[in-house]
Structure 1
Amino acid sequence: MSTNKVRIGVLGAARIAPTALIAPARDNAEAEVVAVAARDRGRAAEYAAKHGIATVHGSYEELLADPGIDAVYNPLPNALHAQWTLAALDAGKHVLCEKPFTSNAVEAQTVADAADKSGLVVMEAFHYRYHPLAARLAEIIESGEIGTLKHVQAALCFPLPKFSDIRYNRELGGGAMMDAGCYALHMTRLLGGGEPTVVSAQAKLHKPDVDRAMKATLVFPGAHTGSLVASLWSSDILKITASAQGDKGRIDVFNFVQPQAYHRLTVRTATGKRVERLSRRPSYSYQLDAFCDAVLRGRPVLTPPSDSVRNMTVIDEIYRKAGLSPR
């Protein structure tokens, strides 16, 4: 492996990759996207030409066997995350895997165990977590400024009326809780500072066992409560918010997922109200920095497989509480 650069291969000609990886890599001296593979070689070649990627592979296996690749970006459908992350580890590649990490907690634990044994970096792509905004939220809560936590909540709702989208396909790990909900839960866990128990959950269905919206209530070990809302198609057309209520104040944040586009952090206490705004640098760029730091210098990441197992465990329980089966 190059000692000063991480050479990355992309599994699949994914729509998210240009934003999540290819563009950030252009501005990162330690990262280079060197290859792409797709089941259709022609599609991969077209994608490579469009995005300036040097090498095209006609299969995922071929890409994993490429000795010129140090790491793999896995943006495949949810149901394929575990299979191809495990295959990448077997091939000796580090992995940046899109969220949700796997289809369920059992798969997540299998991948986590394999990652531990391999000594390779495996990181779930919760890019928002690497932006200074997320760190600032945790810092305010930990400082005691808003006092003892009483309730935390997060919502990620957006309209996805294209019902042929794979996010409505159960076999591919679809569902609102898997897509938008994994973000809302992850943020609720960050604010809540622990691992919650699911008290109740209610789903709105697109078709049997596929949720288009999900609500859940939680309780944390510190006895404070939590709640989340996630939807791909519901009366909550667009909502990207999070908040934490303490006995001395409250914080509210708008657009925790894509803070580079626009965000607002509001802090209210007895001394008054203030609004904070942090970096407009893309969260994906911070994420790639962290991935390269981990691969090149062995630094820990904020979203390791152990965290992914915890997130997927709660997702599974939310599905059960809603009367649905985990993916």
Structure 2
Amino acid sequence: MASLFGFVHRNWLIFNPPEASKSAAPLRFGILGAADIGPMALILPAKSHPDVVVQTVAARDPKKAKAYAQKHGIPEVSANYQDLLDNPNIDCVYIPLPNGLHFEWALRALKAGKHVLLEKPSVNNVTEAEALFKNPIINGPKAPVLLEAAHYAFHPAWTTFMSYVSPANVSSAKAVLWVPSWKFSADDIRYQYDLGGGALLDLGAYTASALTRVFGVVAEECEECLTQGAQFDSRCDQLFKARYRFPGGRRGEMEGDLKAPFDHLSPNLHVEHSPIVVSSADAGVKVPEDQEVVRIRKIKFTNFVMPSVFHSIRIDDEFQTRKAGDKSGKTIKKWTNSKTIKAYTFKEVGIDQPGEPSWTTYRYQLEEFVNKVHGSEARQWVSGEDSMNTAKMIDMAYTAAKLPLRPTSKLVDGNT
């Protein structure tokens, strides 16, 4: 009963966060686009952050921007995107525009001196990623901050999960992410090629980035990618199943579906390690001097994308004892230790960082974004290299699927 109450209370607070008193000089955000993701990604998290105020919003349709501002308590409406960027009172810009517009407006915002929180996927392809994240404008001590909003990586559950992962020793991993079939209409922007549509760019931004973090490197090749085209535009994939080869012959897989059946609910991440010799203390046993203990670790992270709603991290460690140095596979003894853990705050897992059980991945992300803008060292972060690696993984998959890469912005050649 107590766990059920905690679940209900935590999730109620996610959508009804407490209002924080604002500091004397908070960072003032503008939102480019009256996007549905805006409330969850920024507007609600900003309510509980003392150093953040969502000041203005701009949209292609001024009437839509006005209605959006009224609905979400945003005090100002900008006439258009450029008007928002020209506003000297705006410090930071959140960009949840269609994927195909990310490169252009992120670059314009950076040139206007604004810090940029850029919705995932950061851009359409690796050409745009390299042009954006290698741009000289974001280098230097006073350069604006640019962050791709891979929000799951900021939650304490992800940090806890990664504390059990040894990237160099991972032998295989699989990331899956499904969206129920009723979620997006047939003409949604996710199915429009010219706007950067496709399941790989949308859901794959999560699964591909998770794989690169788990393995610690980008894949060498996408060996196979099976897709199903969307009805609205066959160049856009509705679902994908991709298989990658990582250095050392290791295997990574990812699946995503924008029209998943009802029995496909939770985003899961499965990781398996290669056998390694561990100390008897790590195994919790004493063994004779002529024996050694081998461990094979398997981890399942349930709901790695939105762990603030609910999640679990199950660690299964299979131990074997054998004669020291014996590689024949002959086992003396075998047993398994299993445990399931959860982490809604950093303090739960012994890390001295701020957080509340009801903080979403987006709220933890906002905390670090503000810290970075203020010049503090990032404790969790998504680097430009991380974002470029994600783009590489997605481009590999589209190439393997024999689908065209999403179009490159005409501004890439003149981005400096």
Please classify the TM superposition score into its range, dividing by the shorter chain length: over 0.9
Give the Cα separation in 2 of the matches to 1:312 and 1:211.
16
Task: Give 1:302 shift.
Answer: 1.6
Structure 2 counterpart SS, 1:24: helix
User: Where do 5+ consecutive residues of structure 2 fail to align?
Assistant: 1-22, 276-295, 319-335, 345-356, 407-416
Does residue 295 of the first structure (1) align with residue 373 of the second (2)? Answer: yes
Q: Which residue of 2 aligns with 1:315?
A: 394
The 1:134/1:55 distance shift into structure 2, 3 A limit, reads: same
Does residue 284 of the first structure (1) align with residue 284 of the second (2)? Answer: no
Q: Work out whether residues 40 and 58 of structure 1, in 8 Å CA contact, stay in contact via their aligned partners in 2.
A: no
Task: Give 1:116 shift.
Answer: 2.9
Report percent identity of matched pairs: 35
Give the Cα separation in 1 of the matches to 2:87 and 2:383.
25
Q: Which residue of 2 aligns with 1:255?
A: 303
Task: Give 1:291 shift.
Answer: 0.5
Structure 2 counterpart SS, 1:58: coil
What number of residue pairs does the alignment pair up? 323
Candidates 133, 151, 155, aligned match of 1:112: 133
Candidates 68, 83, 89, aligned match of 2:104: 83
Task: Give 1:231 shift.
Answer: 1.1
Q: How do residues 152-231 of structure 1 correspond to structure 2 at under 5 angstroms? A: 152-161=173-182, 162-197=185-220, 198-206=222-230, 207-231=233-257
Structure 1 counterpart SS, 2:54: strand
Does residue 305 of the first structure (1) align with residue 384 of the second (2)? Answer: yes
Q: Which has the higher helix share?
A: 1
Structure 2 counterpart SS, 1:297: coil
Q: Which residue of 2 aligns with 1:140?
A: 164
Give the Cα separation in 2 of the matches to 1:239 and 1:137.
17
Structure 1 counterpart SS, 2:203: helix
Which AA in structure 1 matches 2:205?
C
Q: Which residue of 2 aligns with 1:56?
A: 77
TM-score normalized by the length of structure 1: 0.94
Q: CA RMSD in A?
A: 1.8
Cα deviation, 1:248-293, whole Å, max 9, x if unaligned, reads 1200011001111110110001341111011042111100001001
Task: Give 1:51 shift.
Answer: 1.1
Candidates 124, 145, 150, aligned match of 1:126: 150
Task: Give 1:99 shift.
Answer: 0.3
Structure 1 counterpart SS, 2:226: strand
User: Where do 5+ consecutive residues of structure 1 fail to align?
Assistant: none
The 1:93/1:160 distance shift into structure 2, 3 A limit, reads: farther
Moved more, 294-303 or 78-87: 294-303
Structure 2 counterpart SS, 1:230: strand
Does residue 12 of the first structure (1) align with residue 36 of the second (2)? Answer: no
Give the Cα separation in 2 of the matches to 1:272 and 1:173.
45
Q: Work out whether residues 138 and 146 of structure 2, in 8 Å CA contact, stay in contact via their aligned partners in 1.
A: no
Task: Give 1:45 shift.
Answer: 1.4
Structure 1 counterpart SS, 2:68: helix
Cα deviation, 1:181-204, whole Å, max 9, x if unaligned, reads 111111111111211122221111
Structure 1 counterpart SS, 2:267: strand
Moved over 6 A (4+): none
The structure that has the greater radius of gyration is 2
Cα deviation, 1:271-325, whole Å, max 9, x if unaligned, reads 4111101104211110000100110124346212222111101101110001111
